[in-house]
Chains A and B, each alone.
Chain A
């Protein structure tokens, strides 16, 4: 479903193309990018935009993802707006640079096409790649469809470049399920985006009149203070994310709810929490089960960092049981998202009413039937049935 903006321009795009249009509308100065499935269409479309003068930017064919992020950092250092995109192994390969960029507070925006990590080698989607980057100091948002992907690229710059934040943003979009699925997408008008996102005047860039050293060595006696400021920026980002969502909605007619979006949760007895494309399928299941009179709800976790801990703390006394869908697993424990939510719930004593569902690994479908099965297990839990805390859904055996 598309909420048209005031002057809409609907096109039939896949998720990668939506990201490319989103990037184009933000007028980045520099795009260093390296191709990797399933992000490649972003690379291709942007190169076509540049080749046809539809986009005025320095498009750099870097020789690796590590270099992509290095070049983005160099560009940001000289005050340019930088964009890049990657996926999976590429994200892992640039891992070191993610720390450099966030630690030196360069407001770079990157799209990540969620794909599993080798081995076993596989190009299809899960969220193990980006969740493994949890502690790199990047803001992480997960989108549900192409429209949200496009819109979040634009919002990502507004968040990253906010004076209170100056922290890079990773926009995560599920590989293939979203990157290669065509949907009607509303492409905002350039002048509207220009009004929403003015030209970038970085406060964290070189100035020959006031030479500074960036990303320097900070010794033991200073390093912790830099880290504290990063944490403050993340805390500030929670507010900024809500503000930007409202400002964007007012301008373009699409509101996403900020850190989380609730779907039919008001009187829900059991809820599922998930991120990304799974939300679209889950909405349909919720509607169906609601029609059957079952009080089910859905929480779309949009921002993984900063994590909406206050929201989840407040959720425990509203529902009877909660399922958390993780398209990842931290081997030896549980899903990464589940760990964070359970940590938020810890003081409530609610954790015994939580099931962590591991699903959709390496592109395996999470069907409507699976989601219904998850809800039924949660109802079972409320009726005193024994349920394992950690369950693999759709497993061969």
Chain B
């Protein structure tokens, strides 16, 4: 277990230009504190690369590479292979990509890299839309969310489809380690990062990263929103290793989805009918979770 007093004082990511309240800075900082200075970071086109690698103001004190949108998985493969070919075994290669860069345009490269079993850590920070380009929907945008290209209107309740389940896609690859996490649960995240250090092969963490700008909430509510997502069952914390899924947090009763939705501008247009849609989707997801991963483990 990670103890805060043992965390390094060194900062490997600082001075970034992310929006106030963005969960991204926390994710990057904590991930690198766990992995340490012998880490190489690969960043596709995304919020993360935009706010950290603007020449000449570089924000990493570890080596980094900004990459094509679709290629994070493949560039991690190449780094890992290049290090191996030169006999270097003590370096972590870390990909930090957004939801669009992972679940949409980058899914093929990620799938290829995981299938090959290459040695890398991949963090998908999920702010549930293409935030860097101005809040357009991705396949990880939740049902009912208003985005700039899935707007609510007289004939639309916003995003029509629920989130793609990336965690289960990774499990389908029989990946050595996959987890979901949240920037609102830093210990949980750091412990998961710690696990990735000692495992060989591909490691994947899908971390929810609430976005004050795109979701529409005050910048001091990032942690509260992140916690509400888990408490209402709109997000969950889990990990997959040795062929089994473990739920890290199982709320006894899920809070009403309204408590989560009402605090965010992107859901403000919803009415009773559409909230019902969201509630039903959440309940159906949790039925699956309980059947597959909770009850079967008892």
Contact = CB atoms under 8 A, between A and B. Distances in A.
A318 to B, nearest CB: 45
B74 interface: yes
B164 interface: no
B38 interface: yes
Contacts of A71: 74-75, 77-78, 81
Nearest to B111: A63
B82 A80 contact: yes
Contact of B67 (A32, A57, A60, A100): A100
B112 interface: yes
Nearest to A222: B55
B68 A75 contact: no
A138 to B, nearest CB: 16
Contacts of A212: 58, 63
A62 B38 contact: no
Interface stretch (A164-172, A213-221, A342-350, A376-384): A213-221
B248 interface: no
A219 B54 contact: yes
Interface string A42-80: 000000000000000110111110111111111111111
Interface stretch (B83-91, B182-190, B239-247, B287-295): B83-91
B16 to A, nearest CB: 12
B180 to A, nearest CB: 25
A77 B82 CA distance: 8
A97 B81 contact: no
A217 B82 contact: no
Interface in A73-112: 73-80, 82, 96-97, 100
Contacts of A61: 116
A73 B68 CA distance: 11
B61 A67 contact: no
A207 interface: yes
Contact of A63 (B38, B61, B109): B109
Nearest to A74: B78
A206 B49 CA distance: 18
A54 B55 CA distance: 43
A63 B73 CA distance: 11
Interface residues of B, number: 46
B50 interface: yes
Nearest to B83: A78
Contacts of B73: 67
A75 B82 contact: yes
Most buried by A among B37, B74, B116: B74
B68 A78 contact: no
Interface in B30-59: 37-38, 40, 42, 49-50, 53-56, 58
A29 interface: yes
Most buried by B among A74, A96, A97, A219: A74
B108 interface: yes
A211 interface: yes
Given A32-B74, A71-B75, A217 B65 contact: no
A397 interface: no
B79 interface: yes
Contacts, number: 166
A326 B70 CA distance: 34
Range class of the A interface residue count: 35 or more
Contact of B78 (A72, A100, A211): A72
A32 B78 contact: yes
B226 interface: no
B76 interface: yes
Nearest to B90: A208
A82 B78 contact: yes
A62 B74 contact: yes
Contacts of B60: 211, 213
Given A60-B116, A64-B112, A82-B78, A211 B86 contact: no
B237 to A, nearest CB: 30
A93 to B, nearest CB: 10
Given A211-B63, A217-B66, A219-B55, A79 B77 contact: no
B75 A74 contact: yes
A113 interface: no
Most buried by B among A70, A211, A214, A217: A70
A30 interface: yes
Contacts of B66: 213-217
Contacts of B118: 60
A74 B116 CA distance: 16
A69 B67 CA distance: 11
Contacts of B2: none
A218 B55 contact: yes
Most buried by A among B67, B81, B93: B81
B85 A58 contact: yes
B77 A211 contact: no
B71 interface: yes
Contacts of A74: 42, 65, 74-82, 93
List the 5 closest A-B pairs by CB distance, nearest first: A74-B78, A63-B112, A71-B78, A70-B71, A80-B82
Given A211-B37, A218-B55, 12 more contacts: A30-B81, A64-B108, A66-B109, A70-B78, A73-B65, A74-B81, A75-B78, A77-B79, A82-B82, A213-B55, A215-B67, A217-B49
18 contacts: A29-B81, A29-B85, A30-B81, A30-B85, A32-B77, A63-B115, A67-B109, A70-B67, A71-B78, A74-B80, A78-B88, A80-B85, A97-B68, A208-B91, A211-B63, A213-B64, A214-B63, A216-B66
Interface of B: 37-38, 40, 42, 49-50, 53-56, 58, 60-68, 70-71, 73-86, 88, 91, 93, 108-109, 111-112, 115-116, 118
